[in-house]
Amino acid sequence: MRVPLIAGNWKMNTTISEAVELVGKLLRELDEIDNVDKVLCPPFVSLATVGKLIKGSSIKLGAQNLYSAEKGAYTGEISPLMLADLCEFVIIGHSERRQYFNETDEIINKKVPAALKVGLKPILCIGERLEENEAGLTEEVVTRQLRLALTGIDNLNGMIIAYEPVWAIGTGKAATGEQTNQTIRLSRRHLSELYGKETAQDLRILYGGSVTADNATEFMQQPEIDGALVGGASLKADQFLSIVKQTSRIRQVK
């Protein structure tokens, strides 16, 4: 049985004091929900503060990126070891990083094992662009991204995948539950070819892209979708709480 996971990707939003305020609105109610994993991914500068606020609760912490080297002369970068001290999860290969910071599949393929090596759980993002979707290339793109990101990695322990069609991110134009379920099923089949059926069945695959309180149920009802990576709606306490609560409720009957 895969435990659903809802992660809030705050992206480059919130000052430290705004982060404190947002956690204050989430803490008690999120903490009470025990059949869903809840992960907050604030900006780097707020990780330590948010970590202290959620300490002792059931809420978990994630970073939004990392650099693959352990340490050294890489001005401005954050290493896996530094993060391992602070948090449990790390988002890797988000489409905004691919698009604006030239992250290639090869770079992502260095980051994933670097995270796993220090015990961080990667939330690896994959997903096709609009023109690829329209050209019917979704399956080809996501399987290629998976294969390239995971090349040379034998053990997927702790790994999480987030399927995020680029055209659905921040656009208010979410995919449908059914479409997503189908793409995730294909991704799982591909992972099963690479890693065996059991590993693929145990691996959590999330959906991301304009998830809100209004459409969360549609996604969470699908058997292949194990949770969500939520951007914009994770900055609004009532929205995020509602998404987690809907997931919890569906999980009880699923």
230 neighbors 8 (Cβ within 8 angstroms): yes
Q: Per rule CB under 6 A, is residue 122 in the interface with ligand PGA? A: no
87 Rama sector, left if φ>0, alpha if ψ -120 to 50, beta otherwise:
beta
Q: Per rule CB under 6 A, is residue 128 in the interface with ligand PGA? A: no
β-pair type (121-126, 59-63): unpaired
Q: Please, what is the minimum distance in Å from the beta carbon of residue 173 to ligand PGA?
A: 9
Closest residue to ligand PGA: CB criterion: 231
Q: Per rule CB under 6 A, is residue 40 in the interface with ligand PGA? A: no
Count CB atoms within 10 A of the CB of residue 161. 26
What single letter denotes the amino acid at residue 143? T
> Can you spell out the DSSP letters for 28-45?
HHHHH--SSEEEEE--GG
Among 27, 49, 170, 217, the residue binding ligand PGA under the rule CB under 6 A is 170
Q: Please, what is the minimum distance in Å from the beta carbon of residue 9 to ligand PGA?
A: 4
Count CB atoms within 10 A of the CB of residue 28. 9
- How far is it, in rounded angstroms, from Cα 160 to Cα 162? 7
Tokens at 1, concatenated:
């049985």
Among 183, 210, 247, 248, the residue binding ligand PGA under the rule CB under 6 A is 210
Using CB under 6 A as the binding criterion, the count of chain residues that bind ligand PGA stands at 13
Closer CB to ligand PGA, 19 or 39, in the complex: 39
Q: Per rule CB under 6 A, is residue 166 in the interface with ligand PGA? A: no
Residues with a known catalytic role: 94, 164
Among 115, 211, 216, 220, the residue binding ligand PGA under the rule CB under 6 A is 211
Can you give the binding site for ligand PGA, defined by CB under 6 A? 9, 164, 169-170, 208-211, 229-233
